[in-house]
Amino acid sequence: MMGVLLTVAIFLPLVSALLVAIVRNSTFSRVISIATSVVVFLIAVYLGLNFDWNNPSFQHTIKLPWIQPLGISFSLGLDGMGMALFLLTAFMFVVAFVWSVKIEDKPNLYHALFLLLETACLGVFSALDFFLFYLFWEFMLIPMYFIIGFWGHERKVYAANKFFVYTFFGSIFLLLGIASVVIYGYIVSGSVSFDYFFLKNIQYPLWIQLVAFLLFGLGFAVKVPMWPFHTWLPDAHVEAPTAGSVILAAVLLKMGTYGFVRYSLPMFPEASKYYVPLIFFLSVVAIIYAAMMAIAQTHIKRLIAYSSISHMGLVTLATFASDGNALNGAIYMMVAHGLSSAALFMSAGFIYDRIHSYHMDDLGGLARYIPNLAIVFMLSGLVGIGFPGLAGFVAEFLILLGTYKNYPVWAFVAGVGMVLGAAYFLYMYKRVMLEEETISDYRREKWSHLKDLELHHWIAFVLVLASSVLLGIYPLPFVKLMEHTTRMVFGG
């Protein structure tokens, strides 16, 4: 029953997308998109409330035969991490649709593509069959490509192509990795199967683990993105429309780290230990280098994009720190970063809507003209830099706690990254919201009529920030969710 509900939640947006494509009425598109995403979110909440975190197995499962000669089944299910990310995805699409309620340019296509994207994202987090997983994983490229390409800014074609090629580069290695483990399973057991549990329970010899880890890891690393595969992200974010950036940062980046936790850690445990120095090196470079890059930016979206890379570096670091608390923190960080980066991109998008520039040189002293935005912008940033009482704090605390136990030096470096995070955010805030003296009289004149947040902006911001506060002051149920996964990974 729950499995059926999960299936409905995943494919409802697909059905709505088809409806939008058939009806082609912009009001209809807006209404049905918001309605669909709200229904999906409510289903996700219902599934979350019925999630039993004491039961150490995947829940809300459904398994139907699909492609029998190849041992492929339509198999869905959620564990704690999957549940958390499923909730996050469903939630962020509500926010994205509310935010885009006033879109004027090709609204039907816009909503149809976002709905397709929602199906793909929800599917990635709940697929328990490699074929199905890859289907969703890769299908996601198509709507995102066109979202960046159609509604982007000046260099949108370049950014869309770069996004596509980079992600495809990673995922085709992932496909080879999947083929390899399936064939190994076939050689060991004599039957072809793409089932997650079947392939997870095989003991892979070390050399296969080492190779397969790299193949899988490349696929995930591009999506995270880990240094040095990160260069597509700033371009994609800079060019994408606001809602595209929100989904990209809040949902799509999580797929990479989700992949590491779901596939790499449990399937290749020895390789995961073997590659710890490599992963740590790349993560720390990402944390520090991306933070430095962020400080050097004058383009606010690019700055937020680099901050995302830095935060995702923390996630990969903690994922491989072989500690329960660190892994809890990593998953918590996925959710917290989803919320904070979404709020930051919405703030940036709002500024662009009003002033038509992302450059700090064109901005300054905005707090006087759009004070409400100044408040939510500050709050969004505080979530990102881990201010106590907000979601980011719990995540960073857990990460430091867990990483410090086994790798105190690396924990220190991670801490430095967090300090830099505060630095670049406050620097950006100062340049954009305060510093009145730099703006010209002409601008003062023009900005005096600026319209502050409208209703749909308020709804979107309140949704995101309220949940950040909730996650910050009452983390217990969410940590329980994370622990559900952590226990399965570490056994016990």
Partner 1 sequence: MDWNALLPELILSFGILLLFFLDLLLDKRHFKLLHVLGGFVPIFAFISLFFVEVPAKTFFDTFSVGPFELFGKGLLYILSSLSLFALYDYFLKKNSPYGEVPYLVLLSTLGLSFFMSSDNLLTLFVSVELSSISIYILTALFRGDYNSKESAFKYLLMGSVGTALFGMGSVFYYGAVGRFFLVPYADQNTLFSLFVLFFLSALALKVSAVPFHFWTPDAYDGAPTPLVGYIATAPKLALYMLLVKLALLFSQFKLWLVLVAVLSLLSMFYANFTAYAQRSVKRLLAYSSIAHAGYFLLGVSLSDEVLQKALLFYLGVYIFAVLGSFVVLSAFEKQEGFSHHLLEYRGLGRENPVLGVALSIFLLAFIGIPPMALFVGKLGMFMGLVKAGLGLLALAFVVASIISAGYYLKLMSVMFLEEGEVRFRGGSLSAGESFTLLVCLIFIFLLGLFPQLLYTYIKL
Q: Which residues in this chain contact partner 1 in the complex, by CB under 8 A?
A: 66-70, 131, 134-135, 138-139, 141-142, 146, 149-150, 156-157, 160-161, 164-165, 168-169, 172-173, 175-176, 178-180, 182-183, 186-187, 192, 211
Reading phi first (left if > 0) and then psi (alpha if -120 to 50, else beta), residue 193 is in beta
In 205-241, which positions are buried (b, 16+ CB within 10 angstroms) versus exposed (e)?
eeebbebbbbbbbbbbbbbbbbbebbebbbbbbbbbb
Question: Is the Cβ of residue 168 or residue 490 nearer to partner 1 in the bound state?
Answer: 168
Minimum distance from residue 161 beta carbon to partner 1 (Å)? 5
What are the beta bridge partners of residue 78?
59
Minimum distance from residue 137 beta carbon to partner 1 (Å)? 9
Taking Cα atoms as reference points, which of 5, 31, 52 lies closest to residue 97? 31
Amino acid in the structure at residue 314: L
Question: Is the Cβ of residue 61 or residue 180 nearer to partner 1 in the bound state?
Answer: 180
What tokens were used for 376? 């939510």
Minimum distance from residue 172 beta carbon to partner 1 (Å)? 5
What tokens were used for 390? 């907000």
| Residue found under tokens 């002409």 | 442
Question: Is the Cβ of residue 138 or residue 235 nearer to partner 1 in the bound state?
Answer: 138
Question: Is the Cβ of residue 187 or residue 476 nearer to partner 1 in the bound state?
Answer: 187
Minimum distance from residue 169 beta carbon to partner 1 (Å)? 5
Question: Is the Cβ of residue 154 or residue 445 nearer to partner 1 in the bound state?
Answer: 154
Q: What share of the chain is helix, strand, coil (3-state, %, to 5)?
A: 80, 5, 15
Minimum distance from residue 238 beta carbon to partner 1 (Å)? 16
Question: Is the Cβ of residue 163 or residue 387 nearer to partner 1 in the bound state?
Answer: 163
Question: Is the Cβ of residue 138 or residue 483 nearer to partner 1 in the bound state?
Answer: 138
Is 351:358 a contact under the CB 8 Å cutoff? yes
Taking Cα atoms as reference points, which of 376, 388, 341, 333 lies closest to residue 81? 333
Question: Is the Cβ of residue 86 or residue 166 nearer to partner 1 in the bound state?
Answer: 166
Minimum distance from residue 427 beta carbon to partner 1 (Å)? 34
CA distance 291 to 304: 10
Taking Cα atoms as reference points, which of 191, 248, 254, 195 lies closest to residue 220? 254
Q: What would you measure as the largest C-alpha separation in the chain, in angstroms?
A: 77
Minimum distance from residue 225 beta carbon to partner 1 (Å)? 16
What tokens were used for 41? 């979110």
Minimum distance from residue 6 beta carbon to partner 1 (Å)? 19
Query: What angle, rounded to 10 degrees, do the helices at 324-355 and 476-490 form?
Result: 130
